[in-house]
Structure 1
């Protein structure tokens, strides 16, 4: 091919990418308005190019536009940063994944004596500690907040034997953050900054409000009657930061995505050895639906038959994020929003997968019409800590709604989404009726066929009377 032909091919490719970006910009603007979400920031790693699309405003009160450096709360994607800090200490020889944590934190106690003696960092990073995963452990903003939160772990039920059941655990990562902070002699925030953020040159990422306020940042919003209002709460305090309290910009999340994909980054250091970075993304054990497997901090699913390494987060329905990488394609997409609504993150991810990865669109799974007795066997309420999943008939058939099992106290602005209508794939597994290309959850039944647990949103929830 001649130089002229090469140039023509490159120009054609750049023109096509420009058209794709314009199309995505139009769609993001449209979907954002339809969902009444004030602000959205999208970052895409596509081969050797980074694509950024922003839409809307940081706050309905300030009306400042979202930029590529606007910081959003990334929610539970924070857990992967906590896990990375833990693995850095493993490399230092200061932490062993399979040593009981009570050897590092002698004052640690759970309600279950066996758990006190046996829970390890591996259990925490793979969500298999067995103690209640969704619990209010708020403890203010002092430097002792994490320690105060961890001192209350003995109030939590031991839902499952240690190591036996995956159930997504925020409280497990609160403990993980406290353990790595204590071992390092630093605060959790200092440790992650020194061992992860600084080496990657992630300058638009922080944890504490007094650090965030020196940057452009988006405020969380709740939506009532189609109108967004600024929330008066962050949704998490310092006592729960390791499970979801990090703020970051889409530019910094693109740096994180490139590091996750290939180890590439603009900084001068390296958070982890290459073998450790890859180990974190390898399956450690099966997970609970909607996930398939869990690595060390990372959650693993598939797009059709292609491996996807992902996370994402939801801070009290006020700020919501998606983070997905496709290592096989050197592709990643992250979506940051300052309100919950319209499934906009999923729409953007699905559009990117369909239009940018060149992967075939997954085929719809076969749907069955269950017998009435099979439906009756799953109706009811299931509880995972402070969360309740209600399975009940609705206008569009059987649906599942997640809500709060108890008063969340200071977080009065939380608005829970409506029920998700489901379609059965068999007597146990189900998909969202609006998207039957992937399983959404699973009922775990006893010998009589009656559901006793529900895997949904990564939680393993027990049926309640």
Structure 2
């Protein structure tokens, strides 16, 4: 069983060393084991200013916000204001995707489990005001292609979370930020929280970092994503101890630190219940209501990332263990592997992301004609081809992805990597040093061709 003394010792002895080993700009970590908490920070919030990171520093949490949004929705369920299997249009009459008939069948549960079937990455800028979500949902969601029937399969959908955020706004009569403060952050005693750059100025705030080839430095902007989708996590920032407090509420089945019930035990348990499977993972993983569920449910988690920032929240409910990790750098996997994964293995008996074992190039080429071709959506074009005896993917950023790269000061150029088979239609990236990276799975092989490439939790359709 993981002990808080072990965590404190590891943080004291190893956190700063791990950051130096992997060249990570800064990090803040908070860990709860039962009723006790350990927290530590190392590095800096900005390599230019050299201001040290502290336990109170705020970092962007990005997509972990989706679990906050899901929790706000489940509070509405607890109050009888919304039903999980209600059509979304019953509560938001203007809701629709590009397929009016299909979108009429999309339920609240579909959006919570990323099974709405419509294109998910909607990074259009609307306004920076309280109407940002309304404008995104009413003006831009109707342009999204309906890729599959509602409920067919998991594909990560930030646009669906925008719709749920708008549902919260309508039911609460409050902008999303105010609803989050009133119904979660306030009752949890969280004050180290910011919803945009203006609010972040009130804290010791971390900015993202990149290694551009001429050395690592801070991004030219605090946020590469627009403010238009606060419910999916475009700019929400907080301290690691604030994020840990949120995780502790879930580990306590909905009880806040002062005993106030923020979520019913039934809803907290339902959020952690395994639902539709996530493709492209070697260790079985599924989606609950907001959470990702690893294995048999011993661990639930969610991560967040944008250019130059990374965040992870892990909860082992049966042991009341919570780990919150915030990093202002694209390099973070070494920190997870060396420090965090051993804690989770001891507490939950699972390793969230074990390194895949790659086949040789010849084995990877078996049945390659099923996979070659072009896969694309509004934000990316991925060409899969065989060159010099290996399978290569060439990724070209489009739309919102290209715009974010420009804001980050990166050249929006195509790049190519190699993928090798792990098993069946499951592949993984082969890094230049021979190690394995993220998974890719080809789905729905029909007439000798895959219909989708599932990578980065998203199913991207084949073109032509």
Query: Partners in 2 of 1:393 and 1:440 — Cα distance?
Result: 18
- Give the conservation status (yes or no) of the 8 Å contact 1:32–1:39: no
- Give the conservation status (yes or no) of the 8 Å contact 1:221–1:231: no
Q: CA deviation at 1:112?
A: 0.6
Paired residue secondary structure (2:268): helix
Cα distance change, pair 418–325 in 1 and its aligned pair in 2 (3 A): farther
Structure-2 residue corresponding to 1:296:
289
Query: Partners in 1 of 2:164 and 2:91 — Cα distance?
Result: 11
Give the TM-score, by structure 1 length.
Answer: 0.85
Query: Partners in 2 of 1:165 and 1:145 — Cα distance?
Result: 29
- Give the conservation status (yes or no) of the 8 Å contact 1:59–1:230: no
Give the TM-score, by structure 2 length.
Answer: 0.85
- Give the conservation status (yes or no) of the 8 Å contact 1:133–1:384: no
Give the count of matched residue pairs. 446
Query: Partners in 1 of 2:27 and 2:389 — Cα distance?
Result: 30
Cα distance change, pair 449–45 in 1 and its aligned pair in 2 (3 A): farther
State whether structure 2 residue 230 is matched by structure 1 residue 241.
yes
Structure-2 residue corresponding to 1:5:
none
- Give the conservation status (yes or no) of the 8 Å contact 2:341–2:351: no
- Give the conservation status (yes or no) of the 8 Å contact 1:283–1:300: yes
- Give the conservation status (yes or no) of the 8 Å contact 1:198–1:267: no
Query: Partners in 1 of 2:351 and 2:240 — Cα distance?
Result: 26
2:193 to 186, 205, 210: 205
Query: Partners in 1 of 2:429 and 2:340 — Cα distance?
Result: 16
Q: CA deviation at 1:403?
A: 5.5
| Deviation per residue, 1:279-307 (Å, 9 max, x gap) | 111123223334721111111123xx773
Query: Partners in 2 of 1:206 and 1:59 — Cα distance?
Result: 18
- Give the conservation status (yes or no) of the 8 Å contact 1:61–1:230: no
Structure-2 residue corresponding to 1:256:
246
Q: CA deviation at 1:233?
A: 4.7
2:340 to 344, 349, 352: 349
Q: CA deviation at 1:202?
A: 1.5
**Mapping for residues 290-439 of structure 1, pairs under 5 Å:** 290=281, 292-302=285-295, 307-315=298-306, 317-341=307-331, 343-344=333-334, 346-347=336-337, 348-354=339-345, 356-357=346-347, 359=349, 368-369=359-360, 370=363, 372-391=365-384, 398=391, 404-406=397-399, 408-409=402-403, 412-414=406-408, 415=410, 421-431=418-428
- Give the conservation status (yes or no) of the 8 Å contact 2:4–2:37: no
| Deviation per residue, 1:360-418 (Å, 9 max, x gap) | 76987765452634234323442344134454568995465765233643651345897
Query: Partners in 2 of 1:394 and 1:67 — Cα distance?
Result: 48
| Structure 2 segments unaligned to the other structure (5+ residues) | none
Paired residue secondary structure (1:242): coil
Q: CA deviation at 1:275?
A: 1.4
Query: Partners in 2 of 1:213 and 1:109 — Cα distance?
Result: 37
Cα distance change, pair 267–206 in 1 and its aligned pair in 2 (3 A): farther
Cα distance change, pair 268–307 in 1 and its aligned pair in 2 (3 A): closer
Structure-2 residue corresponding to 1:30:
20
Q: Which moved more, 1:427-436 or 1:61-70?
A: 427-436
Q: CA deviation at 1:453?
A: 1.2
| Deviation per residue, 1:167-218 (Å, 9 max, x gap) | 1001111111011101211111111111111111122123133333222211
State whether structure 2 residue 222 is matched by structure 1 residue 223.
no
1:98 to 64, 85, 95: 85
Cα distance change, pair 374–234 in 1 and its aligned pair in 2 (3 A): same
Query: Partners in 2 of 1:18 and 1:430 — Cα distance?
Result: 38
Cα distance change, pair 288–411 in 1 and its aligned pair in 2 (3 A): same
Q: CA RMSD in A?
A: 3.2
Query: Partners in 1 of 2:404 and 2:382 — Cα distance?
Result: 22
Paired residue secondary structure (2:32): strand
Query: Partners in 2 of 1:371 and 1:236 — Cα distance?
Result: 36
Query: Partners in 2 of 1:410 and 1:366 — Cα distance?
Result: 33
Cα distance change, pair 54–78 in 1 and its aligned pair in 2 (3 A): same
Query: Partners in 2 of 1:352 and 1:419 — Cα distance?
Result: 35
| Structure 1 segments unaligned to the other structure (5+ residues) | 1-12
State whether structure 2 residue 451 is matched by structure 1 residue 452.
yes
Structure-2 residue corresponding to 1:65:
52
Paired residue secondary structure (1:86): helix
